[in-house]
Amino acid sequence: MNNFCIQQYAGVLPARAIDCRECAAAYNTRVFHHTSVLHTAVLTLLAPKRGETVLDVTLGLGGHAKSFLDAIGPSGYLFGLDADQENLVEAGRILAKGASQMDLRHGNFRDLPSFGFSSVDILFADLGLSSPHIDDPARGFSFRSDSALDLRFDRTTGMAAARLIAISTEHELAEVLRQYGEVPSAHLLAQAMKESEIATTVQLKKCVERVRGYRAPAELPRVFQALRIAVNDELGALQILLQEGPKLLNPGGRMGVISYHSLEDRLVKDAFRALATPQKDPTTGAIRTQAPFTLITKKPVRPEASEIAANVRARSAKFRVLQHRLH
């Protein structure tokens, strides 16, 4: 996730978070305010240099991409990818000064092999939502406004969350809530959702409140997260990125991923660790083949307290970096 309105992300913030007047004003004027998460850590650990090629597969509104462009200079090149066509248009406007040294494309990083990107020095992914997803009530990402329950990053494909609820069986819906949101008593909530008419964010909110009572404020974010992950097949897409992304790195190239919940981080951690583990002789334990990659981050980098104070969204961020060996 490149950008974030720190008070309106219903999928992450606690119930005590209040609506943000500045965000409402921003939406009314179509100007989205955003903050790049772990900005300093990203630039320090990925260390973009003059003339390098960068692939940002979660362009968002271009927060991190702008810094990449500044670092690689006029001799460098930036490929940008985003599943949200509207984000892509806005990012193109924001990054217009670097138009001659960038190639921005609409698409999900699950389709990375089909884009034909050349090898790169840096591949970066900041998972999750961008500001317009939250600031625009029509997107259906927040239960703090009444709108169609959509939750798709890319509204040109796939099915909205309301449709997913309608066509899923009670068991399937319970599994979505349990696996992707760790929602307590998922089967009871799934049953209620199937028995209710749920086409909007508020209808879903009222259903959760009816079933979970005083627990609802704490569980609503989990419900929205679970449906969002399912609608966008986020974990499936991430698995493809972790499989295909490292193949694009030049020798010495770096791949960095910022994740925001344990399901994502576990996939990143396991994939990076496997790529950085040498093959050993099963009898002697001696290294047969050196691993093609090394871990730049043995443990995930977390935001400083000062960043969390300035941007609440950053509090759950974990940043991991992998590097292709030079030899």
- Chain segment 127-148, per-residue pLDDT in tens: 977 665 665 666 656 777 789 9
Cα–Cα distance for residue pair 252/327, rounded to 1 Å: 9
pTM summary value: 0.84
Q: How much is the average pLDDT of 242-267?
A: 96
For residues 243 and 126, membership in a common domain is answered with: yes
199/27: higher pLDDT: 199
Is the CA virtual torsion 168, 173, 176, 181 positive or negative? positive
Q: How confident is the model at residue 162 (pLDDT cuts 50, 70, 90)?
A: very high
Q: Would you state the pLDDT for residue 114?
A: 94
Total number of domains in the chain = 2
Instruction: Indicate if the pLDDT at residue 16 is higher than 50.
Output: no
Residue 136 lies in a domain: no
CATH number, domain with residue 196: 1.10.150.170
**Contacts of 4-7 spanning 24+ positions with Cβ under 8 A:** 4/34, 4/35, 4/37, 4/129, 4/130, 4/131, 4/134, 4/311, 4/313, 4/314, 5/32, 5/33, 5/34, 5/131, 5/134, 5/135, 6/35, 6/310, 6/311, 6/312, 6/313, 7/312
**Amino acid letter, 22:** E
**Confidence band, pLDDT 50/70/90 cuts, at residue 2:** very low
Is the domain of 217 the same as that of 269? Answer: no
Per-residue pLDDT averaged across 38-43, rounded?
93
Domain that holds residue 75: 21-131+236-324
Q: Please indicate, yes or no, whether residues 63 and 152 belong to a single structural domain of this protein.
A: no
> Lowest-pLDDT range, 119-128, 207-216, 280-289?
280-289
Share above pLDDT 70 across residues of the chain, in percent, rounded to a whole number: 85
Identify the domain boundary among 192, 212, 232.
Answer: 232
What share of the chain in percent tops pLDDT 90?
70
Average pLDDT over residues 240-259: 97
In tens, the pLDDT along 51-95 reads: 999 999 999 989 999 999 999 999 999 999 999 888 899 999 999
Residues 122 and 259 occupy one common structural domain: yes
How does pLDDT run across 292-301, given as a tens digit for each residue? 999 999 999 9
Could you tell me if 26 and 164 lie in one domain? no
Q: What is the model's pLDDT at position 118?
A: 87
Residue 289 has pLDDT above 80, yes or no: yes
State which of 232, 251, 278 marks the end of a domain. 232
Q: How far apart are the first and last CA of the chain?
A: 32
Q: Which of 42-51, 132-141, 307-316 is the least confident region?
A: 132-141
What is the arithmetic mean of pLDDT over 115-132?
Answer: 87
Work out the mean pLDDT of the chain and round it to a whole number.
86
* Three-class SS of the chain: CCCCCCCCCCCCCCCCCCCCHHHHHHHHHCCCCCCCCCHHHHHHHHCCCCCCEEEECCCCCCHHHHHHHHHHCCCCEEEEEECCHHHHHHHHHHCHHHHHHEEEEECCHHHHHHHCCCCEEEEEEECCCCHHHHHCHHHCCCCCCCCECCCCCCCCCCCCHHHHHHHCCHHHHHHHHHHHHCCCCHHHHHHHHHHCCCCEHHHHHHHHHHHHHHHHHHHHHHHHHHHHHHHHCHHHHHHHHHHHHHHHEEEEEEEEEEECCHHHHHHHHHHHHHHCCCEECCCCCCEEECCCEEECCCCCECCCHHHHHHCHHHHHCEEEEEEECCC
| Residue 183 and residue 257 in one domain | no
